């Protein structure tokens, strides 16, 4: 029997038993990694971020992985992520926060792949560029169900603040600011889409961008305000440790028109894609 390497933080919210059973079976089928499953039902309707935050506080293993209740993991998911994790840790100073992530295959409710590519491919992001801290402040593309992170990152991240866009966005930001992030370019999760997902993955990047462009400036500024609130929470949590990009974005509400645009350029506060950045410069 393997020692416990990974706490599986499994958040549920009125999950149909058949879907939960399928995910539990796929966790039990993980090869070469000892796991401990911690399950928490969001009975009060707090939301995924609060539910996963509470699960993080219960974790004590050397590593942890977020698990949605309705996915299915391929048998080698954790072993492959652990291999990449140990490669990074071996080259880093002891106690460095590290997060690694993989890709996933969006499927229908019956686990049949949905045409259109993997989860990462649909977002049309340059992964290397997107992992820079300023970029993650503006656009997180790493889903929690793809992550494995070490205890140093769990401790550094602490409780997920209410202003965080989501638990995965917060953990990714902390990893980018204070540690290292690695990518395994393989779809190791079947990301089930069934109409009840908290976050879906069926739209292509083009369709998503067109839909958001049609929403207009008000909707764009609303999303930017959420990014700003998360940056302010980051600065409040980490103070002088927070990278200058976070402090710059947090100061947007008190900055003038030109100052905001200078900050975007100076600190690299860009999204990915020409349309996104054109809207950012127009409406920020």
Pair of tokens at residue 138: 């503006």
Q: Which domain holds residue 263?
A: 205-283
pLDDT (tens place) for every residue of the chain, 284 residues total: 467 899 999 999 999 999 999 999 999 999 999 999 999 999 999 999 999 999 999 999 999 999 999 999 999 999 999 999 999 999 999 999 999 999 999 999 999 999 999 999 999 999 999 999 999 999 999 999 999 999 999 999 999 999 999 999 999 999 999 999 999 999 999 999 966 555 555 554 555 555 555 567 888 999 999 999 999 999 999 999 999 999 999 999 999 999 999 999 999 999 988 888 999 999 99
Q: What is the pTM of this model?
A: 0.92
Q: Which of 137, 159, 192 is the last residue of a domain?
A: 192
The answer as to whether 131 is a domain residue is yes
Distance CA(100)–CA(85), nearest Å, equals 6
- CATH number for the domain spanning 184: value is 3.90.550.10
Distance CA(90)–CA(69), nearest Å, equals 32
Question: Based on the domain organization, do 175 and 243 belong to the same domain?
Answer: no
The answer as to whether 233 is a domain residue is yes
- Give how many domains the chain has, as a whole number: 2
The answer as to whether 1 is a domain residue is no
The answer as to whether 14 is a domain residue is yes
The answer as to whether 197 is a domain residue is no
The answer as to whether 244 is a domain residue is yes
Buried b (16+ CB within 10 A) or exposed e, 46-79: ebbbbbbbbbbeebebbbbbbbbbbbbbbebbbe
The answer as to whether 200 is a domain residue is no
Give the contacts of 152 (CB within 8 A, at least 6 positions apart). 95, 96, 97, 98, 179
Q: Which of 133, 160, 192 is the last residue of a domain?
A: 192
């Amino acid at each position: 029997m393997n020692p416990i390497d990974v706490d599986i933080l499994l958040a549920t919210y009125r999950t149909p038993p058949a879907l939960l059973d399928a995910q539990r079976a796929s966790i039990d089928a993980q090869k070469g990694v000892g796991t401990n499953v911690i399950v928490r039902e969001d009975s009060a309707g707090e939301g995924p971020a609060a539910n996963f935050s509470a699960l993080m506080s219960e974790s004590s293993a050397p590593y942890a992985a977020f698990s949605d209740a309705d996915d299915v993991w391929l048998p080698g998911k954790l072993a492959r992520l652990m291999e990449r994790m140990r490669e990074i840790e071996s080259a880093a100073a002891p106690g460095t926060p590290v997060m690694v992530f993989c890709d996933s295959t969006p499927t229908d409710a019956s686990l049949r792949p949905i045409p259109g590519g993997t989860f990462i491919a649909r977002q049309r992001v340059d992964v290397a560029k997107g992992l820079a801290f300023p970029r993650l402040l503006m656009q997180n593309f790493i889903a929690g169900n793809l992550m494995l992170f070490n205890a140093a990152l769990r401790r550094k991240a602490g409780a997920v603040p209410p202003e965080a866009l989501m638990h995965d966005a917060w953990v990714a930001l902390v990893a980018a600011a204070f540690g290292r992030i690695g990518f395994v370019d393989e779809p190791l999760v079947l990301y089930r889409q069934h109409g009840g997902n908290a976050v879906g993955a069926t739209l292509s990047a083009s369709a998503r961008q067109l839909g958001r462009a049609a929403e207009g400036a008000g909707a764009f500024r609303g999303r930017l305000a959420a990014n700003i609130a998360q940056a302010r929470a980051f600065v409040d949590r980490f103070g002088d440790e927070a990278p200058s990009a976070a402090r710059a974005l947090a100061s947007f509400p008190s900055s003038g028109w030109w100052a905001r645009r200078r900050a975007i350029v100076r600190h690299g506060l860009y999204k990915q894609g020409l349309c996104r950045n054109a809207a950012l410069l127009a409406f920020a």
